[in-house]
C-alpha cells in the first residue's frame, strides 16, 4: 500500500492499516525504528476512541419516550 507525503510531511494511513491497528480519529501513534532500519507504526493507548453510541449504551433508562431516546442518541441538546 502506498501513500503520498504532503508538503507539510503528512501522510494518510490507508484504511486497511487503520482498521488492522484499531486506530481512528483522535488516536495516537508512535513511529519506531527497528534494528533492520525499517520503521513501524505502533498505536498508543486504547486504540480507537469510544464512539458516542458506545458511551450511551444502556443509559436510556425507564420512562423515556421514543423521541427523547432518539434525541439522546443523536446528540441533540
- The domain segmentation of the chain, as residue ranges, is 1-46, 50-77
Is 21 exposed, middle or buried (CB count within 10 Å of its CB: 0-12, 13-18, 19+)?
A: middle
**Mean pLDDT, residues 37-65:** 71
Q: What pLDDT shows up at residue 44?
A: 86
Which class would CATH give 1-46?
Answer: mainly beta
Tell which wins on pLDDT, 77 or 39.
39
Residue 47's pLDDT band, with cuts at 50, 70 and 90, is: very low
20 band by pLDDT with thresholds 50, 70 and 90: confident
Q: Which helix (H) or strand (E) holds 18?
A: helix 15-21
Query: What pTM was estimated for this model as a whole?
Result: 0.51
Work out the average pLDDT over 47-66: 64
Amino acid at each position: 500500500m502506498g501513500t503520498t507525503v504532503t508538503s507539510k510531511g503528512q501522510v494518510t494511513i490507508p484504511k486497511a492499516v487503520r482498521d488492522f491497528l484499531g486506530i481512528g480519529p483522535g488516536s495516537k501513534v508512535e513511529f519506531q525504528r527497528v534494528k533492520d532500519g525499517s520503521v513501524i507504526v505502533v498505536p498508543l493507548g486504547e486504540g480507537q476512541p469510544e464512539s458516542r453510541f458506545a458511551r450511551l449504551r444502556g443509559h436510556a433508562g425507564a420512562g423515556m419516550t421514543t423521541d427523547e431516546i432518539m434525541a439522546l442518541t443523536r446528540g441533540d441538546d
